[in-house]
Amino acid sequence: MFERTRMFFSNVRTVWASPSDKVVASRTLTTDLAAFLIDMSNFKDKPEAEIIEQIYKVEPEVGGSIDRMSTMTGDAFKGFVLRNTGDELDDLEEEMIRIANEEAETTQVREWFEALAEVLFMHGNLYTYEDPTSLTIEILPNRSITILDDLNRKLADPKMTQAITKANYIIIDEGSTEERVIDANFRITKYKSTPIWAKDNKERDTFGIYSSSPVYRTILNIWQKRQLQIIDVLWRYKMIPREHHQFSAEMFNMANYAGDLNTKRNSARADAESIMGSYAQKIKQSAPDIGYVTLDTTKITTVEPKSAGYMAANEIIAQLNN
């Protein structure tokens, strides 16, 4: 066991071709993480539905809360019952209930309840279509939905038309070659029935059509949290203790060079730049755990941040999470 473990970790170390790979990897990791956070947090240029789904997938406080609510919804289903049948069920009624509950298990009714609840809690609006022939239920994509009272609105200037107040049509991917119009057998379920003003995906005013997503209330807090995380990643990498390598200036004393004053100065500067540049290049290729062997003309000290007060940002992030 010991030998197999040793061989495994020996192979892992071969992933790094040289110490410089570790340095490059650490820098890339930091910049990639910051860039990733910046890109995904550019909320002002993202559609609302995309922002909300991203928050649901990435933020554990939001996604975990929705998971718990949807699980409670699914667990609330205990089985089918018959009402107004008297004190006792006859054999036919018992058989009806047995078949219904078997079908519920086969069609995974609890999982459907959870899925419907998650979409509703996430977006605030749940759109479903029931096929009249097969009786199957399709969850329609919130991100692609627009709701119209009149199909002529598709050609009208949104700024010159009155607000939409009736949901007569559901349009999927309006204006695209894949546009789909649904005028019957659809259902719109809202998180709240309170009528509010909202703009649809085509910037048309609506009133009482769309419900506000409860997740939307977290956007500003999450935006602030992401900003703190971005700064924190960059700050921590910047504030890592640094080594200060000092060369003795006596090595480049102009008295050691021939020629006039200007020639001596240029020669000393050229030597200093060449030697320190070469030395600095070798340092860049070294991993943090590599030591240095130098002449006594080179002094190495560690420069550390004098204050770590910015660490208090962690408390703010915890408050935002709460």
Cα angle for residues 129, 131, 133 (degrees, 5° grid): 170
What is the CA 284 to chain-centroid distance, rounded?
A: 33
Give the residue from 288, 241, 243 showing the smallest Cα distance to 21: 288
The phi and psi torsions of 185 (rounded to 5 degrees) equal: 60, 25
Indicate the DSSP class of residue 319: H
pLDDT beyond 60 at 19: no
pLDDT for 298 beyond 50: yes
pTM of the model: 0.69
Which residues, listed in sequence order, are joined to residue 199 by a DSSP beta bridge? 205
Q: What is the pLDDT of residues 136-186, one digit of tens each?
A: 899 999 999 999 999 999 888 887 889 999 999 999 999 999 999 999 999
Question: To the nearest whole percent, how much of the chain has pLDDT over 70?
Answer: 89
On the CB side of 179, how many CA atoms lie within 13 Å of its CA? 12
Domain boundaries, the chain: 18-32+221-321, 125-212
pLDDT reading at 232 higher than 70: yes
- Residues 187-211, mean pLDDT to the nearest whole number: 94
Angstrom distance (rounded) from CA 48 to CA 53: 9
Cβ burial, residue 177 (10 Å; 0-12/13-18/19+): exposed
In Å, how far from its chain's centre is CA 314?
19
